[in-house]
Structures are given as C-alpha cells and as structure tokens.
Amino acid sequence: MITKPNTLIMRVDTKDCRPSNAMDMFYDPAKTFEENYTAGPYIDDDKDYRDDTVEPAYTFLGFPIQFPFGIAAGALPTSRHTAAAFRLGYDVNVYKTQRAGEFPCNPFPNVLPLAIDGDLTLEKLRQPLVVAPEYPSDLSKLNITNSFGVPSPDPSVWTVDMQQAQAGAGKGQLLIMAVMGTIRDGYGPEEYYDDFALSAALAKDAGAQVVEINLSCPNVASEGVICYNHDAVLEICRRSKAAIGDTPLVIKIGYFSPDQQTTLEKIVRDVSPYVAAISAINTLQGTIVNADGSQALPGGPGRAKSGVCGAGIRWAGLDMVQRLDSLRKRGGYTYEIIGVGGVMQPADFHAYRAAGADLVQAVTAPMWNPLLAQEVRRSVVSRVSLGMG
C-alpha cells in the first residue's frame, strides 16, 4: 500500500499552473496518431519540475515514489512523451499499451468532443452520445471519445523505446509498461491468452519493472472487452504472471455494473494470487453520433461504439475504487488500487484517494493541461497547511 508520510516533503512551483499556451498538450487530437507519434508531445514548457534532493515520501508496489499521481495508458506513446511527463512531475506513468506484433491505428479522427451534461450515467449510455461542435474551455466539463484501436509498432521498436523511457524516470519515479493480446487469423482462446503472456514477457525481457495487461479496451471490435469474462481473465492472469515471474502484474479493468458485482467479486478472488494491483477504470462505452444522428467515427459498424473519457465518467471510476477497496478489506487481499477516470482537477485526485486509491492517474486532462500534476501537488500543500491532511 502507499504509505502516508507523517510530514509532507515536496517542492512545488507556486506560479499559476495552467499552461499559457492553450495548444500545449501531450496529444493533439487535431493531428493524426502518426503525427503525434513522430512529433509529439506539443509542450512548450521545457522546465524540469523535479527535485532529486527530496526523498520519496510514498511507495507503490514496493517502489519508492515522490507522489501518488501520474498518467495512465493512452497519452504517452513514446519515450519523448514519458520523459515530458516525468519532467512535469507525473511520478508513476504508463507507457501506451503495446502488442506482440505490429497493429494499425483506427482511421482519423481518433478523438472527438462530446456534449455530455453532468455524469454519464448507465441510463444515458443507452442513448447515442452526440459530438459537440468544439472542446469546452472549462476543463472540468471536458468529455471526449477516443477510438484508436490500440495501435502498436513491432516489438523490435517499442521494446527499445521503452528502455529509453525507463531512463527518463528520475528519483522516486516509476514507469509501468502496458501490453495486451491480439486476436489474429486462426487464433482461438488458447492462442489469444498466450499472446497476452507473450506481450508481457517481451516487456519483462526489455526491462519493465511493472507490467500492466489491458483487459478493458472497448475500441477493438474483434477483441471486445474481455475483463467481464471470468475464465478468460483468470487464464490470462495466470499465464502472464508465469511469463514475468517476480515482476509485479497490474490488470486494467472496466466498470462493472451493480448487476455484475458477483462476477467482479469472483474475478478479484481468483486473480488475487497473481495480481499486484488493479487499475480501474478504462472508459465507458457508448454509441457516438453526429448532430444529425449519423455515425461519427469512420470505418464501418465496428466503430459505431467507442470509449468515453473525461469528467462524465468520474462517478464510475470512484465507484469502482470504493468497491475494490471494500473487497480488498473483506477478503484480506493485498492488491493495490489505481484510480483512473475523470480526474480533471485537484479535487478529483483527493476524491479518489479518499475512496481508497493507492495511486491516482489521469489521461484526458493532462492532454489539455500538462501542468495538472503541479496543480495537484500545490493543492496537497494547501490542504496540509489548512490541517486537512
């Protein structure tokens, strides 16, 4: 578990933490994935906010870390992106999910703004979600759909770049390597499960200190969201853990509705011998349409539905963290919890920590506000000074 220090020790920049250039972002949705991969991130602020004279005050999976906040899988596809994240004060970051073989990106566009008012409840998800004419200026109201399909270069590329990404981590910082399996022609369940293990082994052999397997991506029609299949999840975890040995294994899961609580409890119970941490959630899946009702994302019926990120899914992430924490306490499990989903501002970080998250990660908000980590750190200092802990 992350330990809470008796005294807070950190250095935080006290200037206004919002980027002065509105186009400062880790990932520019107006550009293709290939453009972001080869030229990103698009951040003018080149300051290094780290202070290696400060001793790490927390731990995660046994690793000393400066602060329990980072960026989850998705927005950091290269070592340039991870280096920028570490430099800007995100201390536990996930290198974008990769595969055991090359895999293409879904057609452009891959990110679109959505018109969602308040929480994106399960009831609202039953209706199509409409693309908004523009991104909101208020980050706390930002909602997007992202549909990339988990593209991946060949392992000969990403394993080398991952090693460079590891080198960009400073004192008290940790890189997690995310991978997933791929369904290819002729594959049945056994081959699919083995491909997860192969991807995990490639990451381990390249030097990954922690491996995360993505069981929750809703953006690949052929593979679907596997995290709701108990037998598949258990077998993938068993094989992946055998492939990486003592390296900690993290699983990324989606939102389980109240009707799926029994399945969640069974999965948690049975994977607990293999899993060091559970990350929740990925996205909520919805049907995305234009204002006239037409399919918003090109590429056929497989892209009619897509993952939704941003402020509207925060309730779901918090709910899952609370339930995972409750299960952990009741079952005496030792897994740690990564809270993800709708972390748009410092208050969201504190809500996740209060819900039981050992580590909090964001994706959507840092894309538009790279200095969110500094805002979160500054808010912690303020809370401590006010006696709020």
Six-digit token string for 80: 């340039």
Q: At what angle do helices 372-385 and 346-355 cross, to 10 degrees?
A: 70
- CB within 8 Å of 46: residues ≥ 6 apart: none
The torsion of the CA quartet 50, 54, 57, 60, rounded to 10 degrees, works out to 50
Extended strands (E) in 77-136 = 92-98, 111-113, 129-130
- Give the position of tokens 């002065």: 20
* Residue-level pLDDT at 28: 93
Residue 151 and residue 133: Cα distance in Å, rounded? 27
What is the DSSP code (8-state) at residue 92?
A: E
Convert 73-99 to b/e letters by CB count within 10 Å (16 or more is b).
bbbbbbbbbbbbbbbbbbbbbbbbbbb
* Residue-level pLDDT at 198: 98
- Give the position of tokens 């906010």: 49
Q: What angle do CA 265, 267, 273 make, to 5 degrees?
A: 110
Helices (H), ranges, 189-229: 189-205
Residue 227 and residue 200: Cα distance in Å, rounded? 17
* Residue-level pLDDT at 313: 98
* Residue-level pLDDT at 224: 66
* Residue-level pLDDT at 225: 83
What is the strand order of the sheet 92-98 is part of?
Answer: 69-71, 359-362, 336-340, 277-280, 249-253, 211-214, 174-179, 92-98
Six-digit token string for 21: 């250039």
* Residue-level pLDDT at 20: 38
Query: Residue 52's CB: how many other CB atoms inside 10 A?
Result: 11
**Residues 210, 176: contact at Cβ < 8 Å?**
yes
Convert 291-312 to b/e letters by CB count within 10 Å (16 or more is b).
eeeebbbeeeeebbbbbbbbbb
In order along its 389 residues, the chain shows pLDDT tens digits of 333 333 333 333 333 333 334 458 899 999 999 999 999 999 999 999 999 999 999 999 999 999 999 999 999 999 999 999 999 999 999 999 999 999 999 999 999 999 999 999 999 999 999 999 999 989 999 999 999 999 999 999 999 999 999 999 999 999 999 999 999 999 999 999 999 999 999 999 999 999 999 999 765 545 668 999 999 999 999 999 999 999 999 999 999 999 999 999 999 999 999 999 999 999 999 999 999 999 999 999 989 999 999 999 999 999 999 999 999 999 999 999 999 999 999 999 999 999 999 999 999 999 999 999 999 999 987 666 556 65
**Residues 82, 165: contact at Cβ < 8 Å?**
yes
Residue 170 and residue 293: Cα distance in Å, rounded? 48
Report the candidate in 149, 143, 169, 97 with the shortest Cα–Cα distance to residue 310. Answer: 143
Report the candidate in 65, 74, 95 with the shortest Cα–Cα distance to residue 170. Answer: 65
Bridge partners, 144 (sequence order): 113, 309
Residue 148 and residue 110: Cα distance in Å, rounded? 6
* Residue-level pLDDT at 387: 62
For each of the domains in the chain, give its residue range(s) and CATH number, in order of start. 5-385 (3.20.20.70)
300: left (phi over 0), alpha (psi -120 to 50) or beta: left
